């Protein structure tokens, strides 16, 4: 096999100071092509879920700026929101704080023929609530006891529960935080809570380890997605999700449209009677 010449351009490898090597960064052209292919498969999966009346829950958890939102967007982009919907709940209201902890999440579980994606979930209790002191030790310990039973109950009811943890290094997370400060369209994503959590990397690490120790169960295991390179994480996660739910291709066969019949008996109203959007951007 011929060796690369000394003048050949080397492919860039991203290696963080902690030794994690995510490999050669995928070229944009390859990424776009593979993403398009996977999104076609997601549509096939969606139609299978609808036909078979499946109930699927996908949980996305991980540190701030780990890439969860971007992956969720690529999953839902080609899908029908009536079949696949995203649940991203705000902080609980005073009334919700007085409920059984899982109650407000149960209201968003799927019916037959639906897939629900939780952008953060009941695991808030083992993450931000634990680290930031928003729950008591008793509430935290009760969650660790009851969560596995709650998830086993979901599995027995026929819900397929899939849990992803997006793992990002502290160096890459800091890089993304700094990037948000520089870009006006991303600056809103850096909340006061994010800034505070930035100071508590070790505390979040310990909380995540405890969470895995208690909730990585056979009926609903945790799947870790390395996300130092966002595009790799998106493709890997979508590929894995598709592998977990056996589905068949229900794509209809191509059809030939007959010529449209003449549209007789219709006179369009004067265009001057309508209000058009100003054409600021147009072909010259």
User: Residue ranges per domain, the chain?
Assistant: 28-244
Could you give the 3-state DSSP secondary structure of residue 220?
strand
Distance CA 247, CA 96 (A): 37
Q: Which CATH class is domain 28-244?
A: alpha beta
| Strands 222-226 vs 159-167: parallel, antiparallel or unpaired | parallel
Residues forming beta bridges with residue 87, ordered by sequence position: 118
Whole-number pLDDT of residue 56: 98
Distance CA 217, CA 152 (A): 9
Distance CA 177, CA 129 (A): 21
Whole-number pLDDT of residue 195: 76
Residue ranges of the alpha helices (H) in the chain? 28-52, 68-76, 94-97, 103-106, 128-132, 137-156, 170-182, 184-187, 192-198, 201-215, 230-244
User: What kind and span of H or E run contains 62?
Assistant: strand 55-62
* Residue numbers of the chain with a pLDDT score lower than 70: 1-23, 284
pTM of the model: 0.87
> What is the layout of strands, in order, in the sheet containing 222-226?
84-87, 114-119, 55-62, 159-167, 222-226
């Amino acid at each position: 096999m011929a060796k690369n010449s000394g003048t050949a351009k080397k492919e860039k490898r991203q290696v963080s100071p902690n030794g994690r090597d995510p490999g050669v960064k995928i070229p944009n052209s390859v990424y776009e092509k593979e993403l398009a292919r996977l999104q076609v498969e997601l549509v096939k999966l969606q139609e299978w879920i609808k036909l078979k009346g499946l109930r699927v829950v996908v949980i996305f958890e991980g540190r701030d700026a780990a890439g969860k939102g971007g992956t969720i967007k690529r999953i839902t982009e080609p899908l029908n929101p009536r079949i696949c919907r995203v649940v991203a709940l705000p902080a609980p209201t005073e009334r919700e704080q007085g409920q059984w902890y899982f109650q407000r999440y149960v209201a968003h579980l799927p019916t037959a023929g639906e897939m629900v994606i939780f952008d953060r979930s009941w695991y808030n209790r083992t993450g931000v609530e634990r680290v930031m002191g928003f729950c008591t030790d008793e509430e935290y310990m009760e969650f660790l006891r009851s969560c596995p039973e709650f998830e086993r109950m979901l599995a027995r009811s026929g819900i397929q529960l899939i849990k992803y943890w997006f793992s990002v290094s502290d160096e890459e997370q800091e890089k993304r935080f700094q990037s948000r400060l520089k870009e006006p369209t991303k600056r809103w994503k850096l909340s006061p809570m994010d800034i505070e959590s930035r100071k508590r990397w070790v505390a979040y690490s310990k909380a995540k380890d405890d969470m895995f120790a208690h909730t990585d169960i056979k009926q609903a295991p945790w799947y870790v997605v390395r996300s130092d390179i966002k595009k790799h994480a998106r493709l890997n996660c979508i590929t894995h999700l598709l592998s977990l739910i056996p589905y068949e291709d229900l794509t209809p066969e191509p059809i030939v449209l007959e010529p449209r019949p003449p549209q007789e008996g219709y006179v369009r109203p004067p265009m001057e009677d309508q209000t058009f959007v100003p054409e600021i951007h147009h072909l010259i």
